[in-house]
């Protein structure tokens, strides 16, 4: 706990790993590539889940649960899908002490099993749209694992929907992108994102179009934070999902799928963390405030406890830390590491003057406040921290995004952040050259940042970066 | 949807399956023994989860997440544990396109992997108690699967704790039994349960004592609804979980584990269901009230919508069903099938008299109520239904539990329900004879229903039944 964190500028990947270890967010599991999410990390994920789950339900989707195990033959029904996922599969060959007749795949995603049920449940246009979401673990064998960002097992939500028209499906995919993902990332995680569609090379295996949210991390690299796919009728045809239309004809449904995962915890670490550890936006933080009893003294314990209970009554998530057998310094450092947005320090000296100290994690400013003013000061510290983290991340994205004209310039520019250039100047060949330098097209969008109507809309720009 | 349900008295297992199908609770997955939990079934599970999760957090445990995959060697460290679980394991032999060096087991429960981390995290008495819970899927290969009750994959929570003394561990295991499980089952699920400890034969593999909650289903059979185990120092020794005590000695921790699963959804179906389908206790129901527009008519749609919004404002979970293109009869039957506790029917004839009809699912009584009285009537219907379902289940358990004197009498008595007899009259040999007739000792308790202090406490009674 007392080991210093590697400075962020010095070695970003080691800094990331140090923060995860010292803030007790996660650990490597015993099977290579797996992860243990420790209570603090999991509490952050639970809050992300709750925020996304509310938005998913507002978008009309119902939660359900489909099996972990999928017959290998299901994966093979959609050609691109099986090709995309085959190298990453975990395969169960023995069950209940016997060799299985057909090998079973541990779900890497659930399009195939869910669509086999959609085929059964959907008969008529009255059954549409069918809007389903599930919270689940999935497995994709990972050769170069990194905690939260790329693990062989991860937790996520995956939405799967069926619609009667291509336009309905598209509007729904975009609604999820905007009202679930962008909304959660910007308003809760305080991370600005660029949106656009993926190139054919980067598209989800089996999709006709993939919409994405891309955030910029503290080192200028991109992180794909959530994707929403139009699947066209690919899975509908592979699984025979047909409905009788209002005019009595038999039609294949149009579909979407969309997901966001525990990698968002990694995004928060990398977007906001500093050399003292994690910085959590208040709306996401499992604890908004820690009231720290500096040490026992005349009335300090009672005062700290009263401040904590007043803040709780005001609706905040609060912990009272009165563990005076551990040094104040060490406890402060630990709460800084864990990124709790506000600390209220209550010690004998301040208290004698009727004061307590309010410390903001975002900019590490401290302010002595009269006891009666603690509540309001904490309230503004929380509101302002939520916003200032977002503004800081926005400023970084602006500062570290360069407009360039050629693929070569892009390769140079992405050493510091994002590069933006006309998609016409890249093209499929340019994209392959970028890939040779470990650079990818993160998304295509219009020059004003809005979404294209069609993949081949003229004048689109490519956002290019190194990515996690 | 229009297929009638098999009468409960006629064929209980078929009735159970019919309710699951027609209330759209679940479906069989493509891999034998797996299950698809459909939105209505999952919404019920989500409410159980929320109720248990709140109680688990109140008991001081933190949620975390451990990997699905466990190295086979971990399972083998605790002798009874591996013996108990080996026949049920699913084994991954291939990952990322290659044969694995060491086979990986899909977790049947997480004692082994969690305790390998406890060994790392626990150093000193200050780290104790360590109280962890996880919500996860687990896999136990099932040869005779039945939806919700016995499936190869199921969802559950599993708690794992470490304490500095045997007594602390025991008190915590009992606290979970009482404050999490019994509380949820009685107060939310309206299912009375008997509590006691398991015989050595029925104990969890690796535990020193297993506490259990046993409910009686509609056919008089028992269902184990939740268990809380004292693990002694078995896993502590197998995984080397030691701490330095206050006096500086090195000690092994004392542990508990405890779990409840999606089988609770099966319990609710079998404890409360009738020949019209599911009956949900209001506190558990995803919807407490459905406001049914009987048909369009003068002002009916507006009145129905206003009733729905008033009920929502009063804090109820409400759906307005105004799908008048589907017959009123069919919609009524569907909501009965799904077990929604209260229906408010709004039709032109009633409305002309300033009335609406309030229908209680629990006893199927209908009452015409003045519009202004709908809110209060719904309120009492909900309160009374919650209680009456519990009372009905309590009366059944009382009526169908017989005191007997011998094992032979017990075998006869369990055709109708539970049998109770002195444990001295059963013993290990008697238990084996019971097993020969498909009967088991569900728990041991004192004659007054309270918990024993020790396994060999004299005068204990055995509760004996056929069980799911």
| B positions 147-186 inside 8 Å of A (CB) | 152-153, 155
Give chain A positions within 8 Å (CB) of B70. Answer: 30-31
CB–CB contact B113 A43 (8 Å): no
Whether residue B332 contacts residue B273, with contact meaning beta carbons closer than 8 Å, is answered with: no
Across the interface, of B65, B92, B142, the residue whose CB is closest to A37 is: B65
User: Virtual CA dihedral for B227, B228, B232, B234, nearest 10 degrees?
Assistant: 50
**Residue A440 and residue A314 share a domain:** no
B63 at the A interface (CB within 8 A)?
A: yes
CA–CA separation, B263 and B185 (whole Å):
12
Same domain, B374 and B408: no
Angle at A62 between CA A58 and CA A63, to 5 degrees: 120
Residues 6+ positions from A74 with CB-CB distance below 8 Å: A105, A112, A113, A116, B30
Closest among A79, A426, A81, A38 to A265, alpha carbons compared? A38
Please report the pLDDT score of residue B332 as a whole number: 97
The 8-class DSSP code of residue A76 comes to T
- Residue A2: its pLDDT value, please? 55
ipTM: 0.97
Asked if B281 contacts B341 with a C-beta cutoff of 8 angstroms, the reply is: yes
- The model's pLDDT over B71-96, given as tens digits with 9 standing for 90+, comes to 999 999 988 888 889 899 999 999 98
CB contact under 8 A, B93 and A88: no
Structure tokens at A228: 């929403």
Q: Are residues A111 and A198 in the same domain?
A: yes
Q: Are B172 and B178 in contact (CB under 8 A)?
A: no
Examine residue A77 and state whether it is found in any structural domain, yes or no: yes
What is the distance, to the nearest Å, from the Cα of residue B17 to the centroid of all Cα atoms in its chain? Answer: 18
Which tokens go with A305? Answer: 């406890």
CATH code of the domain containing A301: 3.40.50.800
Taking the C-alpha atoms of residue A173 and residue A195, their distance in angstroms, rounded to an integer, is: 13
Q: What is the pLDDT of residue B166?
A: 98
Domain presence at residue B24:
yes
The whole-angstrom separation of Cα B9 and Cα A156 is 43
Distance CA A132, CA A61 (A): 5
Domain range enclosing A420: 402-465
Last residue of a domain, one of B272, B300, B324: B272
SS (H, E, C) B383-446: HHHHHHHHHHHHHHHHHCEEECCCHHHHHHHCCCCEEEEEHHHCHHHHHHHHHHCCCEEEEEEC
Clarify whether residues A155 and A91 are in a common domain.
yes
Question: A157 preceded by cis ω (within 30°)?
Answer: no
Q: Please answer yes or no on whether A94 and B94 come within 8 Å at the CB atom.
A: no
A86: which chain B residues are within 8 Å (Cβ-Cβ)?
97
Interface contact A36-B63, CB threshold 8 A: no
Q: Write the residue in A65, A106, A141 that is nearest to B42 by C-beta.
A: A65
Asked, for residue A355, whether it belongs to a domain, the answer is yes
B254 within domain boundaries: yes
CB-based contact (8 Å) between B106 and chain A?
Answer: yes
Boundary residue ending a domain (A243, A272, A301): A272
Contacts of A117 in chain B (CB under 8 A): 27, 36
Q: Is A141 on the interface with B (CB under 8 A)?
A: yes
Q: Are residues B304 and B210 in the same domain?
A: no
Q: What is the DSSP pairing of strand A289-293 with strand A342-346?
A: parallel
Q: What is the CATH number of the domain that holds A436?
A: 3.30.110
Block means of pLDDT (10 residues each) for chain A, 468 residues, are 83 98 97 96 98 98 98 91 91 93 95 97 97 98 95 98 98 98 98 98 95 98 98 96 97 98 98 98 98 92 97 98 95 97 96 96 96 97 98 98 97 97 97 97 97 95 98
* B330: Cβ contacts below 8 Å, ≥ 6 apart: B1, B2
Both B265 and B310 in a single domain? no
pLDDT value for B79: 85
Measure CA of the first residue to CA of the last residue in chain A; give whole Å. 27
User: Does B141 reach chain A within 8 Å, measured CB to CB?
Assistant: yes
**Is A125 in CB contact (< 8 Å) with chain B?**
no
In a domain, B281, yes or no: no
Token output for A336? 């800084």
* Contact state of B97 with A89 under an 8 Å Cβ cutoff: yes
Same domain, B366 and B443: no
What CATH number does residue A43 fall under? Answer: 3.30.930.10
Contacts of B42 in chain A (CB under 8 A): 62-65
How many angstroms separate the CA atoms of A386 and A380, rounded? 10
Q: Which of A46, A86, A95 sits opposite B90 (nearest CB)?
A: A95
The DSSP result for A10-51, as a single string, is T-HHHHHHHHHHHTT-EEE-SSTT-EEE-HHHHHHHHHHHHH
Nearest CB neighbour to B153, from listed A69, A87, A96: A69
Distance from CA of B87 to the nearest CA of A (A): 5
Note whether residue A56 is domain-resident.
Answer: yes
In order along its 468 residues, chain B shows pLDDT tens digits of 457 899 999 999 999 999 999 999 999 999 999 999 999 999 999 999 999 999 999 999 999 999 999 999 999 998 888 888 989 999 999 998 899 999 999 999 999 999 999 999 999 999 999 999 999 999 999 989 999 999 999 999 999 999 999 999 999 999 999 999 999 999 999 999 999 999 999 999 999 999 999 999 999 999 999 999 999 999 999 999 999 999 999 999 999 999 999 999 999 999 999 999 999 999 999 999 999 999 988 899 999 999 999 999 999 999 999 999 999 999 999 999 999 999 999 999 999 999 999 999 999 999 999 999 999 999 999 999 999 999 999 999 999 999 999 999 999 999 999 999 999 999 999 999 999 999 999 999 999 999 999 998 999 999 999 999
Contact B114, B132 (CB under 8 A): yes
How many structural domains compose chain A? 3
Interstrand relation of A318-321 and A342-346 (parallel, antiparallel or unpaired): unpaired
Closest partner residue to B113 among A30, A43, A120, by Cβ?
A: A30
C-alpha Rg value of chain A to the nearest Å: 25
pLDDT of residue B1: 47
Residue length, chain A?
Answer: 468
Task: Please tell me the distance from the alpha carbon of residue B285 to that of residue B51, in angstroms, as a whole number.
Answer: 12
- What is the reported pTM? 0.97
Last residue of a domain, one of A208, A243, A272: A272
Compute φ and ψ for A20, nearest 5 degrees: -60, -40
B205 and B298 in a single domain? The answer is no
Beta carbons of B27 and A117 less than 8 Å apart: yes
B67 and B27 part of one domain: yes
Q: Do residue A267 and residue A293 come from a single domain? A: no
Q: Is any Cβ of chain A less than 8 angstroms from the Cβ of B50?
A: no
Other beta carbons within 10 Å of A138: 20
Kindly state whether residue A283 falls inside one of the protein's structural domains: no
Contact criterion met (CB below 8 Å) for A108 and A85: yes
Residues A121 and A241 in one domain: yes
C-alpha–C-alpha distance, residues B297 and B299, integer Å:
6
Assigned token pair, B299: 């002002």
User: How many interchain CB pairs under 8 A, A with B?
Assistant: 165
Helices A39-58 and A263-272: angle between axes, nearest 10 degrees: 110
Regarding whether A293 and A250 lie in a shared domain, the answer is no
Instruction: Give the best residue of A69, A116, A121 to mutate against chain B (max B CB count within 10 A).
Output: A69
Q: Residue B441: inside a domain, yes or no?
A: yes
Can you read off the two tokens belonging to residue A289? Answer: 């405030």
Instruction: Provide the pairing of β-strand B289-293 with B366-370.
Output: unpaired
Q: Would you state the torsion angle of the CA atoms of residues B12, B13, B14, B15, taken in this order, to the nearest 10 degrees? A: 50
Which of B94, B117, B152 is closest, CB to CB, to A27?
B117
């Amino acid at each position: 706990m007392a080991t210093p964190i590697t400075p962020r500028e010095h070695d970003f990947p080691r800094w990331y790993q140090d923060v995860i270890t010292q803030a007790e967010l996660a650990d490597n599991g015993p099977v290579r590539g797996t992860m243990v999410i420790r209570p603090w990390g999991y509490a952050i994920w639970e809050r992300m889940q709750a925020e996304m789950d509310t938005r998913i339900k507002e978008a009309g989707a119902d939660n359900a649960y489909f099996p972990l195990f999928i017959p290998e033959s299901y994966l093979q029904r959609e050609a691109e899908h099986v090709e995309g996922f085959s190298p990453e599969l975990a395969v169960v060959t023995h069950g209940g002490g016997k060799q299985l007749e057909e090998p079973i795949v541990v779900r890497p995603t659930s399009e195939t099993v869910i669509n086999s049920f959609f085929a059964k449940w959907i008969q008529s246009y009255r059954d549409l749209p069918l809007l389903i979401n599930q919270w689940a673990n999935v497995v994709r064998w990972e050769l170069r694992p990194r905690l939260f960002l790329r693990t062989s097992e991860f937790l996520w939500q995956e939405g799967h929907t069926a619609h009667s028209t291509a336009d309905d499906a598209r509007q729904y995919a975009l609604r999820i992108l905007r009202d679930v993902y962008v909304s959660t990332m910007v308003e809760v995680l305080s991370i600005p994102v660029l949106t656009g569609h993926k190139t054919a090379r980067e598209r989800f295996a089996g999709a006709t179009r993939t919409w994405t949210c891309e955030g910029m991390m503290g080192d200028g690299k991109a992180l794909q934070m959530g994707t929403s796919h139009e699947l066209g009728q690919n899975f509908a045809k592979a699984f025979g999902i047909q409905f009788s239309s209002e005019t009595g004809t038999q039609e294949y449904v149009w579909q979407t799928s969309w997901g966001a995962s525990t990698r968002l915890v990694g995004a928060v670490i990398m977007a906001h963390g500093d050399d003292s550890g994690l910085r959590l936006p208040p709306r996401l933080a499992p604890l908004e405030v820690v009231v720290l009893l500096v040490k026992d003294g005349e009335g300090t314990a009672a005062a700290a406890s009263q401040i904590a209970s007043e803040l709780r009554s005001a609706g905040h998530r609060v912990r009272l830390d009165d563990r005076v057998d551990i040094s104040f310094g060490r406890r402060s450092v630990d709460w800084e590491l864990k990124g709790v947005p506000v600390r209220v320090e209550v010690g004998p000296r301040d208290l004698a003057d009727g004061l307590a100290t309010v410390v903001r994690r975002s900019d590490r400013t401290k302010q002595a406040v009269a006891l009666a003013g603690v509540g309001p000061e904490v309230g503004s510290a929380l509101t302002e921290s939520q916003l200032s983290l977002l503004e800081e991340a926005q400023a970084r994205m602006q500062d570290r995004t360069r407009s360039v004209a050629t693929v070569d310039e892009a390769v140079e520019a992405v050493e510091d952040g994002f590069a933006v250039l006309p998609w016409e100047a890249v093209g499929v060949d340019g994209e392959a050259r970028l890939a040779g330098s470990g650079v990818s097209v993160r998304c295509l969008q219009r020059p004003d940042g809005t979404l294209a109507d069609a993949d081949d809309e003229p004048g689109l720009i490519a956002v290019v970066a190194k990515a996690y």
